[in-house]
Structure 1
Amino acid sequence: MTLVEQVVVLLAGIGAGTINTIVGSGTLITFPVLVLLGVPPLTANVSNTVGLVPGAISGTWGYRRELQGQGRRLWWLGGAGLAGGLVGAVALLVAPAGAFDAVVPVLIVLALVAVVAQPRVAERLATRPTTGPPGRPRLVLLVGVFLTGIYGGYFGAAQGVLLLALLGMTIAEDLQRLNATKNLVATLVNGVAAVVFVAVAEVDWRVAVLIAIGSVVGGQVGATVGRRLSPVALRAVIVVVGLLAVVRLVTT
């Protein structure tokens, strides 16, 4: 990997860390960039997951004020996310050779659809009334977080978008507090998947470290000035880069 390519990966990590904190679709920046640079899809997915964990932690810390008072809810949702992430990571590694390469273009397209639909979902969530102190989440939410965790452990693109939509449809709560919850759950999902990948999978550590450095910076950008960035521009970048990756995957 040339110096220019390494800089591109670092910048992609910054963008992904920022977007993950604000919306939750940063993988649709880093993963396509790695594929376009010639990294094999499975290695790119594994290395990307490992690299984005520090940025996810950074973004979660940036939203720590919004997490206050949600302790009981976070224990339940975090546990469901951890279980799902573990299942998804193991499923990725035990699936037949080539299965990920075959399914990933479809996953990217579905994730892009979720990103495009996100503004309408956010608009509806913003009009929901808030509620009192959180308690034990409903079973449907726990199952939904578990299933989303499986997806996140397997691939993870737009996992945050799916989580935020799920939380908003089942919890009457302030959107920023839901976003903080989403960040924490996604961090746990990616974290447990990363542990599995580091233990038994092939990680491109140069890629992972570059993404990690960039995503930590991006996590703080997203938690501070990220809300000022144009959401239209962010989504446009995500869609263009994602479509380029799909074209690269189906033509090679």
Structure 2
Amino acid sequence: MPETLLVLLAGLAAGALNAVGGGGTFVALPALVAAGQSPVTANASSTIALVPGAVAGAWVYRRELAPVGPASTKSLTAVSVLGGGLGAALVLALPSESFDAAVPWLLAFATVLFAFGGRLSGALRGTLDRPLAPGPRTVLVMQFVLAVYGGYFGGGVGIMMLAVWSVGLGIDSATGNPMRIAQLAAIYVSATALFLAISDARSSPLVLTTMVAGAVAGGFGGAHLARRLPARLLRAVVLSTAVTMTVLYFLRG
């Protein structure tokens, strides 16, 4: 019973974090490991569990979705689905030790990029004497790389998305948050299909369904909360989550 309660609370927190600013994987994964799952199975289970919460959050934001730069919403979503599926295939086919060692550094890079993205974007615009304006193909390539990472591990992928969009396209966190949640849902859906078919995630149905229930409630409630937060406060929440995740990942390593 204590393990079930832990998983439920972790699901609530993970769903809410993903809706507000990202970082749900870091809450969900340790809780599932504490409940007795292996790290690889916990990784698959956390991805599966966060799908309904991400979909619930995307539904709340459905009327606020805006294209990311020159790329259409349909093409961006298609790329996220493909990348998420490939990332999930890699986690099932390759050893995770080398990538796990790189995760803290990836998170540190994303955190710095997000924290100073606005200034960097402005400096680059001044240097180039024109606004940064990547074409649709460049935007889709960047999104594909992020989606592969999201399907493989997922920790901080939402923060990385906002960081890349901030620097490359000048999109602030409040404007980009609805599309971030929608793309998280797309990445998780394709990864989940593969994890359900091949991984051992279904071996603990009670743990999985408990996490799913918590993530749905947290994602729905968190999305409503995020819509009411001022842009500056939302950025502070995202940045605080990013710094905390990065430090904890380095300490864990």
TM-score (norm 1): 0.79
1:63 matched residue in structure 2: 61
Residue by residue over 1:211-231, the C-alpha shift from the partner in whole angstroms, topping out at 9 and shown as x without a partner, is 211111111222122447883
Aligned to 1:23: 21
Q: How does 1:83-94 map to 2 (within 5 A)?
A: 83-94=82-93
Closer, same or farther: CA 238–14 of 1 in aligned 2, 3 Å: farther
Deviations 1:3-35 (A, max 9, x none): 111111111111111111121221011112222
Q: Distance in 2 between matches of 1:107 and 1:45?
A: 16
Cα 1:236–1:69, aligned 2, differ >3 Å: closer, same or farther?
Answer: closer
Distance in 2 (alpha carbons) for counterparts of 1:12 and 1:116: 23
Which segments of structure 1 move beyond 4 Å, counting only runs of 4 or more? 68-72, 121-127, 232-244
Please say if 1:109 is aligned against 2:109.
Answer: no
* Structure-2 separation of matches of 1:69 and 1:236: 28
Tell me the secondary structure at the aligned position of residue 39 of structure 1.
coil
Displacement of 1:113 in angstroms is 2.4
Aligned to 1:120: 115
Deviation string, structure 1 residues 181-211 (Cα, Å, up to 9, x no partner) = 1111111011100001111221132222112
Distance in 2 (alpha carbons) for counterparts of 1:36 and 1:108: 20
CA distance in 2, matches of 1:39, 1:240: 24
Structure 1 residue 144 displacement after superposition = 0.7
- Say if 1:48 and 1:207, in contact at 8 Å, map to a contact too: no
| Structure-2 residue corresponding to 1:132 | none
Equivalent pair of 2:14/2:215 in contact (CA under 8 Å): yes
CA spacing shift, 1:57–1:46, aligned 2, 3 Å:
same
- Show the counterpart of 2:220: 220
Contact 1:20-1:26 at 8 Å conserved across structures: yes
Counterpart Cα distance in 1 of 2:178 and 2:143:
15
Q: CA RMSD in A?
A: 3.1
What's the offset of the Cα at 1:174?
A: 5.3
Q: What aligned pairs does 1:110-149 form with structure 2 within 5 A after superposition?
A: 110=105, 112-113=107-108, 116-117=111-112, 120-121=115-116, 138-149=136-147
Q: How far apart, in 1, do the equivalents of 2:248 and 2:214 lie?
A: 18
Alpha carbons 2:121, 2:168 under 8 Å: kept? no
Cα distance in 2 for residues equivalent to 1:120 and 1:238: 14
**Partner residue in 1 for 2:175:** 177
Distance 1:37 1:165, change over 3 A: same
Unaligned runs of 5+ in 1: 128-135, 248-252
Alignment-derived partner of residue 31 in structure 2? 33
Gaps of 5+ in 2: 123-133
In structure 2, the CA distance between the partners of 1:113 and 1:206, relative to structure 1 (3 Å rule), is farther
Structure 2 counterpart of 1:165, one-letter code: A
CA positional deviation for 1:69: 7.2
Instruction: Report the residue type matching 1:217 in the other structure.
Output: A
Partner of 2:76: 77
Q: Given the alignment, which residue of 29, 44, 47 partners 1:46?
A: 44
Please name the residue that 2:187 is paired with: 189
CA contact (8 A) 1:54 1:212 kept: yes
State the distance in 1 between where 2:176 and 2:120 align: 10
Deviations 1:226-250 (A, max 9, x none): 4478837756764676567x36xxx
Which residue does 1:131 correspond to in 2?
Answer: none
- Deviation string 1:149-190 (CA, Å, 9 cap, x unpaired) is 111111111110111112222334454231111111111011
Percent sequence identity over matched residues? 30
TM-score between both structures, scaled by the size of structure 2: 0.79
